[in-house]
Amino acid sequence: MSRKTPFRTQPLIPATLPSHQRRTVLGAGATLLLSVLTPLPAHAARILAVRVWPAEDYTRVTLENDSNLKVSHFLVKDPERLVVDIDGIELNPTLKELVAKIQANDPYIKQVRVGQNRPNVVRLVFDLKAAIDPQVFTLAPVGDYQHRLVFDLYPVNPPDPIEVLIAQSQAREAAGSGKPQHAEARPEPEPRPVETRTARIEPAEPLPKLTRMITIALDPGHGGEDPGAIGSKGSREKDVVLAIAKRLKAKLEEQPNMRVMMTRDADFFVPLHMRVQKARKVQSDLFVSIHADAWVEPTARGASVFTLSEKGASSTAARWLAKKENAADLIGGVNIQGHDKQLASVLLDLSTTAQINDSRKLGRAVLREIGGINRLHKANVEEAGFAVLKAPDIPSILIETAFISNPEEEAKLTDEGYQEQLAEAILTGIRKYFAKNPPLAKNRMT
Protein backbone atom coordinates (compact mmCIF):
# COMPACT_ATOMS: atom_id res chain seq x y z
CA MET A 1 0.00 0.00 0.00
CA SER A 2 1.54 3.21 -1.17
CA ARG A 3 1.68 6.20 1.07
CA LYS A 4 0.80 9.67 -0.23
CA THR A 5 3.48 12.27 0.05
CA PRO A 6 2.20 14.99 2.36
CA PHE A 7 1.53 18.35 0.66
CA ARG A 8 4.14 20.92 1.58
CA THR A 9 3.74 24.63 1.04
CA GLN A 10 6.69 26.17 -0.73
CA PRO A 11 7.83 29.71 0.06
CA LEU A 12 6.62 32.20 -2.58
CA ILE A 13 9.77 34.29 -2.12
CA PRO A 14 13.14 32.57 -1.71
CA ALA A 15 14.74 33.45 1.58
CA THR A 16 18.08 33.84 -0.15
CA LEU A 17 16.97 36.99 -2.01
CA PRO A 18 18.49 40.26 -0.81
CA SER A 19 16.11 42.34 1.27
CA HIS A 20 15.62 45.08 -1.35
CA GLN A 21 14.67 42.45 -3.94
CA ARG A 22 12.25 40.85 -1.49
CA ARG A 23 10.55 44.24 -0.98
CA THR A 24 10.20 44.63 -4.76
CA VAL A 25 8.61 41.22 -5.16
CA LEU A 26 6.28 41.81 -2.20
CA GLY A 27 5.16 45.13 -3.67
CA ALA A 28 4.41 43.52 -7.02
CA GLY A 29 2.42 40.80 -5.29
CA ALA A 30 0.37 43.33 -3.36
CA THR A 31 -0.41 45.21 -6.56
CA LEU A 32 -1.52 41.98 -8.20
CA LEU A 33 -3.73 41.13 -5.21
CA LEU A 34 -5.36 44.57 -5.25
CA SER A 35 -6.08 44.27 -8.97
CA VAL A 36 -7.86 41.00 -8.32
CA LEU A 37 -9.89 42.18 -5.31
CA THR A 38 -10.78 45.66 -6.62
CA PRO A 39 -13.96 45.54 -8.75
CA LEU A 40 -13.63 46.58 -12.34
CA PRO A 41 -15.22 49.93 -13.21
CA ALA A 42 -18.90 49.57 -14.14
CA HIS A 43 -19.77 49.83 -17.80
CA ALA A 44 -21.32 53.09 -18.95
CA ALA A 45 -25.09 53.19 -18.90
CA ARG A 46 -26.71 52.98 -22.31
CA ILE A 47 -29.61 55.14 -23.46
CA LEU A 48 -32.18 52.87 -25.12
CA ALA A 49 -34.89 55.33 -26.18
CA VAL A 50 -35.84 59.00 -25.94
CA ARG A 51 -39.44 60.26 -25.95
CA VAL A 52 -41.00 63.73 -25.76
CA TRP A 53 -44.64 64.39 -24.75
CA PRO A 54 -45.53 68.08 -25.31
CA ALA A 55 -48.82 69.39 -23.89
CA GLU A 56 -50.29 72.62 -22.57
CA ASP A 57 -50.27 71.18 -19.05
CA TYR A 58 -46.57 70.33 -19.16
CA THR A 59 -43.93 68.81 -21.41
CA ARG A 60 -42.39 65.49 -20.43
CA VAL A 61 -39.03 64.22 -21.70
CA THR A 62 -38.15 60.58 -20.98
CA LEU A 63 -34.79 58.86 -21.36
CA GLU A 64 -35.07 55.09 -21.09
CA ASN A 65 -31.84 53.34 -20.17
CA ASP A 66 -30.43 50.05 -18.97
CA SER A 67 -29.48 51.20 -15.46
CA ASN A 68 -30.31 53.85 -12.89
CA LEU A 69 -28.69 57.20 -13.69
CA LYS A 70 -27.23 59.91 -11.48
CA VAL A 71 -28.34 63.35 -12.56
CA SER A 72 -28.09 66.98 -11.47
CA HIS A 73 -29.81 70.02 -12.91
CA PHE A 74 -30.05 73.79 -12.56
CA LEU A 75 -31.86 76.71 -14.18
CA VAL A 76 -30.22 79.63 -15.98
CA LYS A 77 -31.91 82.99 -16.61
CA ASP A 78 -31.70 85.49 -19.50
CA PRO A 79 -32.49 83.54 -21.57
CA GLU A 80 -34.38 80.80 -19.75
CA ARG A 81 -32.55 77.46 -19.84
CA LEU A 82 -32.60 74.14 -18.01
CA VAL A 83 -29.18 72.48 -17.74
CA VAL A 84 -29.00 68.76 -16.94
CA ASP A 85 -25.82 66.77 -16.29
CA ILE A 86 -26.14 62.98 -16.52
CA ASP A 87 -23.33 61.03 -14.90
CA GLY A 88 -22.05 57.65 -16.05
CA ILE A 89 -23.00 57.77 -19.73
CA GLU A 90 -21.37 58.51 -23.04
CA LEU A 91 -23.06 60.32 -25.90
CA ASN A 92 -24.65 57.81 -28.28
CA PRO A 93 -26.79 58.07 -31.45
CA THR A 94 -30.02 57.35 -29.54
CA LEU A 95 -29.47 60.28 -27.20
CA LYS A 96 -28.66 62.54 -30.14
CA GLU A 97 -32.16 61.77 -31.50
CA LEU A 98 -33.57 63.96 -28.74
CA VAL A 99 -32.64 67.08 -30.71
CA ALA A 100 -34.95 66.17 -33.60
CA LYS A 101 -37.81 65.16 -31.31
CA ILE A 102 -38.46 68.70 -30.06
CA GLN A 103 -41.43 70.03 -32.02
CA ALA A 104 -41.81 73.63 -33.09
CA ASN A 105 -45.20 73.86 -31.34
CA ASP A 106 -43.88 72.58 -27.99
CA PRO A 107 -45.29 75.05 -25.43
CA TYR A 108 -42.18 75.11 -23.26
CA ILE A 109 -39.08 73.87 -25.11
CA LYS A 110 -37.55 75.89 -27.93
CA GLN A 111 -34.71 73.47 -28.63
CA VAL A 112 -32.32 71.12 -26.86
CA ARG A 113 -28.54 70.85 -27.16
CA VAL A 114 -26.75 67.60 -26.31
CA GLY A 115 -23.03 67.15 -25.79
CA GLN A 116 -20.28 65.30 -23.93
CA ASN A 117 -19.51 67.79 -21.18
CA ARG A 118 -16.60 65.77 -19.75
CA PRO A 119 -15.68 62.09 -19.57
CA ASN A 120 -18.68 60.00 -18.49
CA VAL A 121 -20.90 63.11 -18.20
CA VAL A 122 -23.39 64.17 -20.87
CA ARG A 123 -24.95 67.63 -20.64
CA LEU A 124 -28.41 68.52 -21.94
CA VAL A 125 -29.31 72.19 -22.32
CA PHE A 126 -33.01 72.91 -22.85
CA ASP A 127 -33.59 76.36 -24.35
CA LEU A 128 -37.00 77.36 -23.01
CA LYS A 129 -39.87 79.47 -24.29
CA ALA A 130 -41.04 80.44 -20.80
CA ALA A 131 -40.07 80.11 -17.16
CA ILE A 132 -40.64 76.57 -15.95
CA ASP A 133 -40.74 74.63 -12.72
CA PRO A 134 -38.87 71.40 -13.51
CA GLN A 135 -39.34 68.04 -11.84
CA VAL A 136 -36.51 65.60 -12.51
CA PHE A 137 -36.84 62.05 -11.21
CA THR A 138 -36.14 58.41 -12.01
CA LEU A 139 -38.51 55.45 -12.38
CA ALA A 140 -37.70 51.82 -11.66
CA PRO A 141 -38.36 49.21 -14.37
CA VAL A 142 -42.03 48.31 -14.77
CA GLY A 143 -44.05 46.61 -17.48
CA ASP A 144 -42.25 46.88 -20.81
CA TYR A 145 -40.04 49.73 -19.61
CA GLN A 146 -36.53 49.57 -18.22
CA HIS A 147 -35.09 52.37 -16.07
CA ARG A 148 -36.43 55.80 -16.95
CA LEU A 149 -35.08 59.29 -16.31
CA VAL A 150 -37.94 61.80 -16.53
CA PHE A 151 -37.98 65.59 -16.92
CA ASP A 152 -41.41 67.19 -16.36
CA LEU A 153 -41.39 70.87 -17.33
CA TYR A 154 -44.33 72.68 -15.71
CA PRO A 155 -45.10 76.36 -16.28
CA VAL A 156 -44.26 78.64 -13.35
CA ASN A 157 -47.60 80.39 -13.83
CA PRO A 158 -50.14 77.79 -15.00
CA PRO A 159 -53.46 79.09 -16.35
CA ASP A 160 -56.44 79.07 -14.04
CA PRO A 161 -58.65 76.13 -15.15
CA ILE A 162 -61.91 77.94 -14.45
CA GLU A 163 -60.80 80.95 -16.49
CA VAL A 164 -59.81 78.64 -19.34
CA LEU A 165 -63.19 76.90 -19.24
CA ILE A 166 -65.09 80.19 -19.27
CA ALA A 167 -62.94 81.54 -22.11
CA GLN A 168 -63.62 78.42 -24.18
CA SER A 169 -67.37 78.76 -23.62
CA GLN A 170 -67.29 82.43 -24.62
CA ALA A 171 -65.28 81.62 -27.74
CA ARG A 172 -67.87 79.06 -28.84
CA GLU A 173 -70.69 81.50 -28.26
CA ALA A 174 -68.89 84.16 -30.26
CA ALA A 175 -68.35 81.70 -33.11
CA GLY A 176 -72.12 81.23 -33.47
CA SER A 177 -73.27 77.65 -33.67
CA GLY A 178 -69.87 76.31 -32.67
CA LYS A 179 -70.29 73.31 -34.95
CA PRO A 180 -67.12 71.19 -34.60
CA GLN A 181 -65.11 70.66 -37.77
CA HIS A 182 -65.22 66.89 -37.48
CA ALA A 183 -69.03 66.80 -37.30
CA GLU A 184 -69.54 66.51 -41.07
CA ALA A 185 -71.56 63.58 -42.38
CA ARG A 186 -69.79 60.29 -41.82
CA PRO A 187 -70.46 56.88 -43.28
CA GLU A 188 -72.74 54.74 -41.22
CA PRO A 189 -70.98 51.79 -39.61
CA GLU A 190 -71.60 48.44 -41.27
CA PRO A 191 -74.32 46.29 -39.69
CA ARG A 192 -73.00 43.95 -37.04
CA PRO A 193 -74.90 40.64 -37.38
CA VAL A 194 -73.36 39.35 -34.16
CA GLU A 195 -75.45 41.78 -32.15
CA THR A 196 -78.59 40.33 -30.58
CA ARG A 197 -80.30 43.70 -30.11
CA THR A 198 -81.43 46.30 -32.61
CA ALA A 199 -79.35 49.44 -32.38
CA ARG A 200 -81.36 52.26 -30.87
CA ILE A 201 -80.84 55.60 -29.24
CA GLU A 202 -84.01 56.95 -27.73
CA PRO A 203 -84.54 60.69 -27.73
CA ALA A 204 -83.70 62.11 -24.36
CA GLU A 205 -86.20 63.94 -22.22
CA PRO A 206 -85.74 67.70 -22.38
CA LEU A 207 -83.52 69.06 -19.67
CA PRO A 208 -85.22 71.05 -16.94
CA LYS A 209 -84.86 74.80 -17.11
CA LEU A 210 -81.38 75.53 -15.81
CA THR A 211 -80.17 78.61 -14.03
CA ARG A 212 -76.48 77.79 -14.35
CA MET A 213 -74.02 75.93 -16.55
CA ILE A 214 -73.50 72.20 -16.12
CA THR A 215 -69.81 71.30 -16.13
CA ILE A 216 -68.85 67.78 -17.16
CA ALA A 217 -65.35 66.34 -16.72
CA LEU A 218 -64.35 63.84 -19.40
CA ASP A 219 -61.41 61.65 -18.55
CA PRO A 220 -59.78 59.74 -21.42
CA GLY A 221 -57.78 57.02 -19.68
CA HIS A 222 -54.02 56.46 -19.89
CA GLY A 223 -51.89 58.62 -22.23
CA GLY A 224 -48.25 59.50 -22.79
CA GLU A 225 -45.92 56.86 -21.38
CA ASP A 226 -48.95 54.71 -20.56
CA PRO A 227 -50.54 53.27 -23.74
CA GLY A 228 -53.17 51.26 -21.87
CA ALA A 229 -54.35 48.03 -23.46
CA ILE A 230 -53.19 47.19 -26.99
CA GLY A 231 -55.29 45.29 -29.52
CA SER A 232 -54.14 42.53 -31.87
CA LYS A 233 -54.00 45.05 -34.75
CA GLY A 234 -51.87 47.43 -32.69
CA SER A 235 -54.66 49.83 -31.66
CA ARG A 236 -53.79 51.57 -28.40
CA GLU A 237 -56.38 52.22 -25.73
CA LYS A 238 -55.07 55.73 -25.05
CA ASP A 239 -55.71 56.76 -28.69
CA VAL A 240 -59.14 55.17 -29.01
CA VAL A 241 -60.56 56.65 -25.80
CA LEU A 242 -59.19 60.12 -26.60
CA ALA A 243 -60.95 60.04 -29.97
CA ILE A 244 -64.23 58.98 -28.34
CA ALA A 245 -63.90 61.63 -25.63
CA LYS A 246 -63.36 64.37 -28.21
CA ARG A 247 -66.50 63.33 -30.07
CA LEU A 248 -68.47 63.25 -26.84
CA LYS A 249 -67.11 66.67 -25.87
CA ALA A 250 -68.32 68.16 -29.15
CA LYS A 251 -71.81 66.70 -28.66
CA LEU A 252 -72.07 67.86 -25.04
CA GLU A 253 -71.04 71.38 -25.96
CA GLU A 254 -73.83 71.54 -28.53
CA GLN A 255 -76.31 71.16 -25.66
CA PRO A 256 -77.63 74.28 -23.96
CA ASN A 257 -76.01 75.07 -20.62
CA MET A 258 -73.30 72.39 -20.89
CA ARG A 259 -69.55 72.75 -21.02
CA VAL A 260 -66.73 70.25 -20.80
CA MET A 261 -63.35 69.99 -19.12
CA MET A 262 -61.09 67.22 -20.38
CA THR A 263 -58.45 65.85 -18.03
CA ARG A 264 -56.27 65.42 -21.11
CA ASP A 265 -56.92 66.61 -24.66
CA ALA A 266 -53.72 65.23 -26.20
CA ASP A 267 -51.31 62.34 -25.81
CA PHE A 268 -49.78 62.99 -22.39
CA PHE A 269 -49.91 61.32 -19.01
CA VAL A 270 -52.03 62.58 -16.10
CA PRO A 271 -51.68 60.92 -12.67
CA LEU A 272 -54.89 59.48 -11.24
CA HIS A 273 -55.18 61.90 -8.32
CA MET A 274 -54.57 64.84 -10.67
CA ARG A 275 -57.50 63.73 -12.85
CA VAL A 276 -59.73 63.97 -9.78
CA GLN A 277 -58.25 67.30 -8.73
CA LYS A 278 -58.77 68.77 -12.21
CA ALA A 279 -62.46 67.89 -12.07
CA ARG A 280 -62.85 69.42 -8.61
CA LYS A 281 -61.03 72.63 -9.54
CA VAL A 282 -63.69 73.45 -12.14
CA GLN A 283 -66.50 72.27 -9.83
CA SER A 284 -67.65 69.54 -12.21
CA ASP A 285 -71.19 68.17 -11.95
CA LEU A 286 -70.20 64.80 -13.45
CA PHE A 287 -66.99 62.84 -13.99
CA VAL A 288 -66.92 60.34 -16.87
CA SER A 289 -63.78 58.25 -17.33
CA ILE A 290 -63.52 56.46 -20.69
CA HIS A 291 -61.53 53.25 -21.20
CA ALA A 292 -61.30 50.16 -23.43
CA ASP A 293 -61.15 46.82 -21.66
CA ALA A 294 -58.76 43.92 -22.27
CA TRP A 295 -58.58 40.30 -21.22
CA VAL A 296 -56.18 37.41 -21.68
CA GLU A 297 -58.68 35.61 -23.93
CA PRO A 298 -59.67 37.36 -27.19
CA THR A 299 -63.23 36.06 -26.90
CA ALA A 300 -64.13 38.41 -24.02
CA ARG A 301 -66.45 41.14 -25.29
CA GLY A 302 -69.01 43.77 -24.38
CA ALA A 303 -69.24 47.18 -22.74
CA SER A 304 -69.39 47.84 -18.99
CA VAL A 305 -70.03 50.73 -16.65
CA PHE A 306 -68.44 50.94 -13.21
CA THR A 307 -68.97 53.06 -10.12
CA LEU A 308 -67.02 53.26 -6.90
CA SER A 309 -67.60 50.52 -4.37
CA GLU A 310 -68.28 51.24 -0.71
CA LYS A 311 -67.47 47.74 0.54
CA GLY A 312 -65.63 45.84 -2.19
CA ALA A 313 -65.71 44.85 -5.83
CA SER A 314 -68.95 43.42 -7.20
CA SER A 315 -67.04 40.62 -8.93
CA THR A 316 -63.59 39.12 -9.17
CA ALA A 317 -63.23 40.53 -12.67
CA ALA A 318 -64.18 44.01 -11.43
CA ARG A 319 -61.58 43.79 -8.68
CA TRP A 320 -58.94 42.68 -11.20
CA LEU A 321 -59.84 45.50 -13.57
CA ALA A 322 -59.69 48.15 -10.83
CA LYS A 323 -56.26 46.88 -9.77
CA LYS A 324 -55.06 47.09 -13.38
CA GLU A 325 -56.43 50.61 -13.92
CA ASN A 326 -55.07 51.82 -10.58
CA ALA A 327 -51.61 50.68 -11.68
CA ALA A 328 -51.64 53.31 -14.44
CA ASP A 329 -49.51 55.63 -12.30
CA LEU A 330 -46.73 53.04 -12.26
CA ILE A 331 -46.69 52.72 -16.04
CA GLY A 332 -47.28 56.38 -16.80
CA GLY A 333 -44.67 57.48 -14.28
CA VAL A 334 -45.55 59.52 -11.19
CA ASN A 335 -42.98 61.62 -9.36
CA ILE A 336 -43.50 60.34 -5.81
CA GLN A 337 -41.61 63.30 -4.37
CA GLY A 338 -43.39 65.74 -6.63
CA HIS A 339 -46.75 65.92 -4.87
CA ASP A 340 -48.23 65.83 -1.42
CA LYS A 341 -48.90 62.12 -0.87
CA GLN A 342 -50.96 62.81 2.25
CA LEU A 343 -53.15 65.31 0.42
CA ALA A 344 -53.70 62.87 -2.44
CA SER A 345 -54.59 60.10 0.01
CA VAL A 346 -57.11 62.28 1.84
CA LEU A 347 -58.65 63.42 -1.43
CA LEU A 348 -59.15 59.86 -2.59
CA ASP A 349 -60.75 58.69 0.65
CA LEU A 350 -63.53 61.23 1.14
CA SER A 351 -66.19 59.73 -1.13
CA THR A 352 -69.67 59.99 0.31
CA THR A 353 -72.70 57.72 0.18
CA ALA A 354 -74.64 60.41 -1.68
CA GLN A 355 -71.93 60.65 -4.34
CA ILE A 356 -71.93 56.87 -4.82
CA ASN A 357 -75.75 56.71 -5.05
CA ASP A 358 -75.81 59.46 -7.69
CA SER A 359 -73.01 57.69 -9.54
CA ARG A 360 -75.12 54.52 -9.71
CA LYS A 361 -78.05 56.46 -11.18
CA LEU A 362 -75.79 57.99 -13.80
CA GLY A 363 -74.20 54.62 -14.51
CA ARG A 364 -77.55 52.90 -15.05
CA ALA A 365 -78.72 55.65 -17.43
CA VAL A 366 -75.56 55.44 -19.53
CA LEU A 367 -75.41 51.64 -19.50
CA ARG A 368 -78.95 51.36 -20.88
CA GLU A 369 -78.06 53.58 -23.83
CA ILE A 370 -74.77 51.82 -24.59
CA GLY A 371 -76.67 48.53 -24.52
CA GLY A 372 -78.67 49.77 -27.50
CA ILE A 373 -75.62 49.87 -29.78
CA ASN A 374 -73.33 47.20 -28.39
CA ARG A 375 -73.48 44.00 -26.44
CA LEU A 376 -73.04 44.46 -22.69
CA HIS A 377 -70.42 42.50 -20.81
CA LYS A 378 -72.58 42.70 -17.68
CA ALA A 379 -76.23 43.74 -17.60
CA ASN A 380 -75.83 45.76 -14.40
CA VAL A 381 -73.55 48.57 -13.27
CA GLU A 382 -70.55 47.04 -11.54
CA GLU A 383 -68.58 48.36 -8.58
CA ALA A 384 -64.90 48.38 -7.65
CA GLY A 385 -62.30 50.56 -5.96
CA PHE A 386 -61.20 52.68 -8.91
CA ALA A 387 -58.97 55.48 -7.64
CA VAL A 388 -60.09 57.82 -10.40
CA LEU A 389 -63.74 57.64 -9.21
CA LYS A 390 -63.03 58.88 -5.69
CA ALA A 391 -64.01 62.52 -6.00
CA PRO A 392 -65.99 63.13 -2.80
CA ASP A 393 -68.56 65.47 -4.31
CA ILE A 394 -68.89 64.50 -8.00
CA PRO A 395 -71.02 61.64 -9.38
CA SER A 396 -68.42 59.56 -11.21
CA ILE A 397 -68.52 56.59 -13.59
CA LEU A 398 -65.94 54.63 -15.56
CA ILE A 399 -67.01 53.29 -18.96
CA GLU A 400 -65.25 50.31 -20.49
CA THR A 401 -66.43 50.93 -24.05
CA ALA A 402 -65.56 47.45 -25.36
CA PHE A 403 -62.78 44.85 -25.30
CA ILE A 404 -59.92 46.12 -27.43
CA SER A 405 -58.40 42.65 -26.98
CA ASN A 406 -61.31 41.23 -29.01
CA PRO A 407 -60.47 41.64 -32.75
CA GLU A 408 -64.10 42.35 -33.70
CA GLU A 409 -64.55 44.96 -30.99
CA GLU A 410 -61.14 46.47 -31.73
CA ALA A 411 -62.41 47.11 -35.26
CA LYS A 412 -65.50 48.82 -33.82
CA LEU A 413 -63.52 51.02 -31.47
CA THR A 414 -61.39 52.35 -34.32
CA ASP A 415 -64.37 52.90 -36.63
CA GLU A 416 -65.42 56.56 -36.81
CA GLY A 417 -69.08 55.70 -37.33
CA TYR A 418 -69.16 53.52 -34.24
CA GLN A 419 -67.31 56.15 -32.21
CA GLU A 420 -70.06 58.60 -33.15
CA GLN A 421 -72.77 56.16 -32.09
CA LEU A 422 -71.03 55.50 -28.80
CA ALA A 423 -70.61 59.21 -28.06
CA GLU A 424 -74.30 59.77 -28.88
CA ALA A 425 -75.32 56.96 -26.55
CA ILE A 426 -73.30 58.38 -23.66
CA LEU A 427 -74.72 61.84 -24.33
CA THR A 428 -78.28 60.48 -24.23
CA GLY A 429 -77.60 58.69 -20.95
CA ILE A 430 -76.22 61.89 -19.41
CA ARG A 431 -79.24 63.90 -20.58
CA LYS A 432 -81.63 61.33 -19.13
CA TYR A 433 -79.77 61.38 -15.83
CA PHE A 434 -80.08 65.16 -15.55
CA ALA A 435 -83.75 65.07 -16.60
CA LYS A 436 -84.48 63.03 -13.47
CA ASN A 437 -81.73 64.47 -11.26
CA PRO A 438 -81.48 68.22 -11.89
CA PRO A 439 -78.16 69.72 -10.78
CA LEU A 440 -78.29 71.52 -7.49
CA ALA A 441 -78.38 75.30 -7.60
CA LYS A 442 -75.05 75.74 -5.86
CA ASN A 443 -72.97 78.85 -5.75
CA ARG A 444 -70.85 78.03 -8.75
CA MET A 445 -69.02 79.88 -11.47
CA THR A 446 -71.08 81.75 -14.02
One-letter amino acid for residue 158 of the chain: P
- For 321-376, what is each residue's pLDDT tens digit? 777 777 788 888 888 765 544 444 444 444 578 888 999 999 999 999 999 999 99
Among the listed ranges 255-259, 271-275, 326-330, 367-371, which one has the minimum average pLDDT value?
Answer: 326-330
Name, in order, each residue with C-beta under 8 angstroms of 79's C-beta and a sequence gap of 6 or more: 127, 128
CA distances from 82 to 59, 88, 103, 150, 362 (A): 13, 20, 17, 14, 46
Can you spell out the DSSP letters for 107-119?
SSEEEEEEEEEET
Instruction: State how far the Cα of 42 lies from the Cα of 299, in Å rounded to an integer.
Output: 48
One-letter amino acid for residue 319 of the chain: R
Query: Domains in the chain, start-ordered, CATH in brackets?
Result: 47-155 (2.60.40.3500), 161-182+196-436 (3.40.630.40)
Report, as an integer, the average pLDDT of 169-192.
Answer: 55
One-letter amino acid for residue 138 of the chain: T
Name, in order, each residue with C-beta under 8 angstroms of 124's C-beta and a sequence gap of 6 or more: 83, 84, 86, 98, 112, 113, 114
- For 394-417, what is each residue's pLDDT tens digit? 999 999 999 999 999 999 999 999
Coil/strand/helix, residue 382: strand
Looking at residue 6, what is its pLDDT?
A: 43
> In the chain, pLDDT over 90 holds for what percent of residues?
58
